[in-house]
Amino acid sequence: MGVRRREHDRSAARFAAAVALLLILAALRFHNLTAQDPFIDEGAHVQRARAVWSFEQNPGRFSNGKVLLYFWLGVFELPPIGALWIARAAIALVALPTGAAVYTLGRKIGGDPAGLAALGIYAVLPLAFFFERMALADPLAGMLMALTAWRSLTLARHPSTREAVLVGGLATGAMLAKLTMGLAPIIPVAATLLYDRLPVSGWRARLDAWRTRYARGLALVAAVMVGCWLPLVLPAAAAYVRGDTFTLVNAANMADVRNPALLAELRAILPALTRYVSGGLLLAAAAGLGALARRRQRGDDARAHLLYLLIWLAASVLLPLLASRNLRTRYFMPVAAPLSIAAGCGIAALWHTRRRAPRLTAIVALAVWVGGFALPFAITTVTEPQALALPPDDAAVYLGGNFAGDAFREIAGLLDKLDPPAGHILADAPTCDALYFFTSRPVTCAADIANPRELLDAPVSYVVLNGHEPQPDRLGLVWELVAEFERPVLEQLAGMTRTASLWRVRATPTEP
């Protein structure tokens, strides 16, 4: 009775600790969510999300490989002004199931201490929470990859129709959230191969037994994937034959794997990623993988766990590495989950030893990492994001305000004070998307801001220019400068000088 009571108390304590860590995770993602200026892609995602549920056209036509992101954001309706908080909060929400999956898989792979350590690391890991505070596709794809890894392990140990359908839906969702997760189907296949525990010897007998046990389930996984993809792939193929535009894949960002510049990009991205994870965490993850490789307990799946984590990591990084023309750190955000689990196993390996010194080392190492790296990064992110020490390229696009910042707020304030204009408010496409977060006035996205034919049918219009001056006008329009604002933050962070300006444009009177 006493043993059962103690076990119950330990379970309750673990549950309470996991809930507390999830609350910390949520607080870091939701607190002061709009302190950081909008990133240009967030504006584009919000605009597409507003249109996707209308089904006026196949969403694959404008999906750019992120169709599920637009359906998810579109659920919340995205009105002007409040759209930034709503869209970011919708993405911050997906961190909770990701954290739950990290905790559950950590427990299955390394025991209860590993599960808690993995969840604690994920909660404060900058690679996770920095990007989960923005309206981007990568956190949604990462969440679905983590859930795929979790349920695939369940499918391997307890194959059933329900689990096969669930795994098929999750793996397809990861790919639809972002096509860089296109290797997600590898995960359930790997799980069935690694965790089969078939009571036979000899590779032929094992292969036959594996087919008998898993062939139907994996075929159902594949059928679900095909069924989900057909509504996009068939119209895309028909559009390709007709020569129509159908951006199911953003070809402009597809890399040529034969290009030697790819290796240079890889060498540049590794130090940048380290800024979000730290060398100490990478060492802890390596130690965790090493501990799994050395574990020799009878009936233990340690080797299978090791290979499973490595395959999950590979499935998350190979397509971004090989297929992306311009590598960005956010493409690797889905790695945060398996990396946290590996590091949690490293901490747990030290904790499980009977000697006091390794246990003390585990506690001190985790405390130093949290207090010296993760927590300062988190506090700066939620209070003063402009002061973050990001890699130079990331500082330019996430903090420099290429299409946001005080200059855009000033221009939006001027637009809101104008009398209803007779014509349009015009901007180029990126500026148009960004202004959606700052003004309730409708802004028209110009096809060619240097040759704005949209202005010909109105006597007076307004044009927002970002980083360039009006070109010599060939349309007979008169340009009058209303106001311009310098971008000192952008110049300080990225070494770029860019001025945002508002122009009043009117048509010249017609000669009698």
pLDDT of residue 23: 96
Spell out the domain ranges in the chain.
2-387, 400-507
Q: Which residues pair with 486 in a beta bridge?
A: 499
Strand residues in 79-206 grouped as ranges (E):
none
pLDDT of residue 247: 66
User: Does residue 71 carry a pLDDT above 70?
Assistant: yes
pLDDT of residue 151: 97
- 465 versus 267: the higher-pLDDT residue is 465
Widest CA span in the chain: 103
- 216 versus 203: the higher-pLDDT residue is 216
Q: Give residue-wise pLDDT tens across range 80-127.
A: 777 889 999 999 999 999 999 999 999 999 999 999 999 999 999 999
pLDDT of residue 362: 83
C-alpha count within 13 angstroms, C-beta hemisphere, residue 416: 14
Burial class, 2, CB count within 10 angstroms (exposed 0-12 / middle 13-18 / buried 19+): exposed
Lowest mean pLDDT of 1-15, 53-67, 250-264, 352-366, name the range.
Answer: 250-264
Per DSSP bridges, beta strands 460-466 and 499-507 are: antiparallel
Q: Give residue-wise pLDDT tens across range 423-454.
A: 678 888 778 877 888 888 888 887 777 667 76
pLDDT of residue 416: 84
pLDDT of residue 512: 43
